[in-house]
Structure 1
């Protein structure tokens, strides 16, 4: 199926800026040299490198596939950097030595280009007495401030903003302090924060029951805020422990009051986000051998300790034939072919990359997780004449993701036959995982026969700057935020520069209809009801074995009860997490619309 030829790459000022400030190496004369460098580097691990260098170069040059930013910036250079965008770090041992060892590991990882995610639930609550020193614990949030300062120091200059994720269990005694941690402007600015919400907590909210805040009894040697060191205990799964442990109940709260506290903080300050952690673990392809309690900074890759994000996105706008016409269609065969090649490309990243820490190398090579996603979905729907919130749009989007996922699994089976399965693979256990059980029969038969090269294959990232590089295509599966807007980005010297942007599909449509009235399919994000955002995410989640980074933009005027209902609905729809964004005095607006009275300004909220 013929698609339109590729326009000149880097045909917008911001695309040229992104390439020059983030991805260009040395004196590369143009982006073609960058693509060639990356293709060569990723082909060196192959038995026939020349063959695969040519194929990878074609994949990149046509903008059909957009590798993660760390791959573009680091592959084929002599820099001591990792090609993985992000890592989840190891469990933080609840001791001064353990805390600062974890801090050091994070600093080393960030220095080599990786964002980091941490679960702070292993740290004792504020007021707990330390066993040996007799000192009083200051709690997880106090130590998060040390991480925040480290991140600011490590990445004090340059075009990338430091990216960290902090999570805390909904039953940790310091959960209220965590929820309120970013209420003041300038506080913990390098962190995204998410609460690990369990199914039991949601049931307690529904039942209007009390909710125990607990911590492992073995670590609670003395009083907490003056309370007795003895009292009620119960057994709980807990971060950093392989089996349920005896936990001491520090106090009880009403579940609905705690939920409202969380919702109110998110309504007023845009954080924390919510991760439905039991669902994450239930649907984890390696859930029989690992327990996940954290994600990468944007949430699309839930990972075990020392797990890594190996990311890339298929640019869906490159597969539309006859856009904006009644004949518009999507090249499914081309999509499947690109998927197969992209899987091989990302699998090679695991062998071509360096690793900041040996434990990260062991985990990445053991599971060979990759995260292949999509970008430009909203633009494609417009090109096909579909409104983002229509059932037809969701049907098309679901079919696209199903095509990619099934092609990816088949490609990974072929790679296993050629190169061997991932080392942690155990056929019977893998085939019994819920996501794998739902795959077509031929894929399951192939896994049983040949194994599979990668434990996980799909994830949908927000695609930040790589979407700008591709002509400002709509990000991930997000709706078009604005047809025209201003965006402020970091320069290589750490300053900010503002650019006027046009959405990719909008620019192409205007080129064809300079004086025409745009169709109503050019809907912008805030014009959509939250249900439309949730429905799209829920449609794609069954075909994504990791997770989906998706932000529901809501107007400042939305009533609180309507806002809180979004998260309840996300849980009901089976989502793995939910993130919203409502303009507020602390974080302002993410991006600004363009009009004659608005200066170009905004906040660069993405690391890559």
Structure 2
């Protein structure tokens, strides 16, 4: 092994990072990250009392310089003249309650939100099946998704990136198969990611090889009645009974073929929700890290863990996570995101009302895999998962402590109830005693504190292309398609941050140690194991795709989805490389394969 360099400072930013920063986040007169940080810090300090603004702005600025930034909407829009929102993600109802007029109003609300840069998720399950008898002027679920997709594609939108959308359909909806197969070849509904909301009962029926009822409140038409549809005692109409395993096979075949639909484990989501006594969740934002009620939203902000390793790779001393600094940064990050709620432009009054009642925020992470590599740990081994859990536990504990401190200063969120947090089966049972006592005295300022998004563009622009979110690095050096403004994407060389640090410290010819693992070199089951290690500590959810080999058999894909369910995950998406699919990133010496997750998750960055 060559001797390390005496100069241990990080290398200068690479060209692709400077390009993306300038295109997506820099305002007039801004040329580097420090200028953006200063604009954002000054803007978000305006939520403070006048005498505290200068000190808080300095704290926000220092935090961003150390790696705790806002998500993309914050970094682009805070303190800027743009009219976009600083909120990344929303969930909307589709407006089925009062017939056609309500549907059109819901579509208009979605377009307004998307035009301001927000991404939106929807549960289309309330809309009638294609062969319902009387739709009261409503489109069927699949027709409605097409309407939303066409309307959003025609929008003028704010900023460099269009907000993505998520369509969710229940596993009980009679059009389940048509929905699951709708994006075969990825030619239809290009502005949408798709997820099937699966229940424990459905998955148990799969395991037991039992029949499954597809039903809806809308009355079936003559064709469905001729096939045996009938009204059930609970008022629902049973359209037909299918083999649960046959439905499961069709869903998972399509998930393996085109990376969609993903699965949302809806019962798990609702059991784990801090506010499960007050709301029922049936949809998530476009990348799946934030299950939300109707008109719910969340502001996001990741902490770059790759910036928090002292003596990376053991150069100059033992490589360790700077736990105290991570704790301090988390507390400041909670304050910054709570300030966003006070200052952002809201697309709709309903968003503002829902946000003020619950004050959801989402402290996140990026650079996890790079952190592990710098610590000399493998992503696919228990020691790596234990280190990841340790970092996330610090974030969780100090986020809740900071929210309790904010509640003492500003008051708890209006719907706060002690029993939702301090009961035996609630999040408080897992927190340190001092944090529980603080919550007991003051309550919480925010109903939810953690949400792990993909963070692709902000990790590229502000993190020197560190491994994004909790994903492993795609590769060490690769070609990335980068869209600048509204021009066609161009090919750009991109280098992983941890790899650049290693080369900078150890030299160009130093062999990579075993802790360097790309996404494709990790077994799919170990990707799921990392999710399972972290999800119990995250009160919202985690966005992650699990890459599987090109020759992955269907049975393995099905086992991965069941592994995720049994492990208590809230959602899962698989990705298998396939010729002909649109690619965002290309490995140097491998067939083209797109980034993970596939689709446009700009809403989460």
1:551 is aligned to 2:545? yes
Q: Within 5 Å, which residues of 2 pair with 1:289-300?
A: 289-300=278-289
1:502/1:108 CA distance change after superposition, 3 Å: same
Of the three residues 120, 128, 131, the one matched with 2:132 is 128
1:301/1:601 CA distance change after superposition, 3 Å: closer
Q: Secondary structure at the match of 1:259?
A: helix
- Give 5+ residue unaligned stretches, structure 2: 1-6
What is the aligned partner in structure 1 of residue 3 from structure 2? none
Q: Secondary structure at the match of 1:571?
A: helix
The structural deviation recorded for 1:560 is: 1.8
The structural deviation recorded for 1:440 is: 2.8
Of the three residues 95, 107, 112, the one matched with 1:92 is 95
Q: Deviations over 1:484-538 (max 9, x none)?
A: 1111122112321221111100011011222111112111111111111111111
Is the CA contact 1:270–1:584 (under 8 Å) kept in the aligned structure 2? Answer: no
Of the three residues 244, 251, 257, the one matched with 2:240 is 251
The structural deviation recorded for 1:105 is: 0.3
What is the aligned partner in structure 1 of residue 123 from structure 2? 119
1:158/1:355 CA distance change after superposition, 3 Å: closer
What is the aligned partner in structure 2 of residue 264 from structure 1? 253
1:69 is aligned to 2:68? no
1:207/1:228 CA distance change after superposition, 3 Å: closer
TM-score between the two structures when normalised by the length of structure 1: 0.92
The structural deviation recorded for 1:378 is: 0.5
1:489/1:458 CA distance change after superposition, 3 Å: same
Q: 1: CA distance between counterparts of 2:382 and 2:257?
A: 32
Q: 2: CA distance between counterparts of 1:20 and 1:14?
A: 10
What is the aligned partner in structure 2 of residue 28 from structure 1? 30
The structural deviation recorded for 1:388 is: 1.0
Q: Within 5 Å, which residues of 2 pair with 1:323-362?
A: 323-325=312-314, 327-362=318-353
1:411/1:417 CA distance change after superposition, 3 Å: same
Figure out how many residues of one structure are paired with residues of the other and give that number.
Answer: 587
RMSD: 2.2
What is the aligned partner in structure 2 of residue 231 from structure 1? 230
Q: Secondary structure at the match of 2:313?
A: coil
- Give 5+ residue unaligned stretches, structure 1: 236-245
Q: Secondary structure at the match of 1:67?
A: coil
Is the CA contact 1:412–1:452 (under 8 Å) kept in the aligned structure 2? Answer: yes
1:107 is aligned to 2:99? no
Q: 2: CA distance between counterparts of 1:598 and 1:175?
A: 33
TM-score between the two structures when normalised by the length of structure 2: 0.93
Of the three residues 469, 474, 479, the one matched with 1:476 is 469
What is the aligned partner in structure 2 of residue 55 from structure 1? 59
What is the aligned partner in structure 2 of residue 494 from structure 1? 487
What is the aligned partner in structure 2 of residue 190 from structure 1? 191
Bigger shift: 495-504 or 396-405? 495-504
1:438 is aligned to 2:430? yes
Q: 1: CA distance between counterparts of 2:158 and 2:330?
A: 36
1:578 is aligned to 2:572? yes
The structural deviation recorded for 1:590 is: 4.7
Q: Deviations over 1:64-107 (max 9, x none)?
A: 21211000111112322210011111243152212211110000
Is the CA contact 1:106–1:116 (under 8 Å) kept in the aligned structure 2? Answer: yes
Q: 1: CA distance between counterparts of 2:320 and 2:272?
A: 33
Q: 2: CA distance between counterparts of 1:227 and 1:422?
A: 53
Q: 1: CA distance between counterparts of 2:515 and 2:155?
A: 44
Is the CA contact 1:294–1:303 (under 8 Å) kept in the aligned structure 2? Answer: yes
Is the CA contact 1:461–1:549 (under 8 Å) kept in the aligned structure 2? Answer: yes
Q: 2: CA distance between counterparts of 1:201 and 1:132?
A: 29
The structural deviation recorded for 1:232 is: 4.0
Q: 2: CA distance between counterparts of 1:266 and 1:92?
A: 28
The structural deviation recorded for 1:16 is: 1.2
Q: Deviations over 1:409-458 (max 9, x none)?
A: 00100000011000111122343363333333332222121101100000
The structural deviation recorded for 1:572 is: 1.2
Of the three residues 420, 425, 433, the one matched with 1:429 is 420
1:308/1:599 CA distance change after superposition, 3 Å: closer
Is the CA contact 1:280–1:302 (under 8 Å) kept in the aligned structure 2? Answer: yes
What is the aligned partner in structure 1 of residue 85 from structure 2? 82
Of the three residues 376, 382, 388, the one matched with 1:391 is 382
What is the aligned partner in structure 2 of residue 568 from structure 1? 562
